[in-house]
Amino acid sequence: MNMQVEEVRLSLPHIELAAHIYGPADGLPVIAVHGWMDNLMSFARLVPKLHGLRIVAVDLAGHGHSEHRPPGAHYSVWENVYDILQVAEQFGWERFSLLGHSMGAIVSTLIAGTMPHRVERLALIDAIIPHTAKPEATPEELAAAFEAQMALKNKRKRVHDSFDKAIEARMKGAVSVNREASELLAQRGVMPVPGGYIWRTDSRLMLPSPVRFTLPQALAFVHRIACPVSLVLASQGVMTKIPGSIDLLKDLPVELTELPGRHHLHLEDEAGAQVVADCFNRFFHPA
């Protein structure tokens, strides 16, 4: 994690995002997109082990040091797609590659399927398509989303007594991480407030999605991708726990590599970051 890094603010037409820039100016352009409730420190172990890449790692809206969306706005996955396309515009990148983990991998897949002429290569960690829903479930899911949204105004963020308690809370999150990973995420994700510490993430990120793609809709994005795709699958990750997901992957135009580790295998220790880096270095620089 000794690689030189530049901290920047990206003033997009509709929101300001924070980002780190790594690697040589003439490296292959790559935008790194982290997962839900994480931040760009998700790539702190992995990025220094990648070679020949000019990487812009972004704090997504509502995460890390980036702005929160304005009142009344939503955190739909396609809003993140638009944000990342605007990041590419900021750097003048007509073509670029994407490195995505979890929700960031889903966002990356949607970008590559929406704008296939823009994406050079797609490197994904333990996710590829969004959670889907059956058409008949749409009314109930929309109702549940509205109810949760209206109830949110009466909820307050949890204030932790100490920085260490905030780290422990993230370790026990919906997708748990080890202490080392939580400490790295906390560097950018935790802030002091009267009475203790809170995580910076926007509370609205916890709201359920009002509308989900159906499975055929989600797969349509994958089948429209025109670039090489490498998906690292964590043996103890999220995808292995979803019934039928592995069988589904066999029918997709994706280079699949299963590696030992949990959902954050690229962040939890140096060994995990190295095996993921070895895979992606071969992918980004084929012989």
The number of CA neighbours under 13 Å toward the Cβ of 271 is 4
Would you name the residues annotated as active-site residues? 102
The four Cα atoms 216, 221, 225, 228 give a dihedral, to 10 degrees, of -80
Terminal CA-CA length for the chain: 27
Distance CA(117)–CA(133), nearest Å, equals: 28
**Pairing of the two strands 196-199 and 229-236:** unpaired
Cβ–Cβ under 8 Å, residues 190 and 166: yes
- Buried residues in 141-176 as b, exposed as e (16+ CB within 10 A): beeebeeeeeeeeeeeeeebeeeeebbebbbeeebe
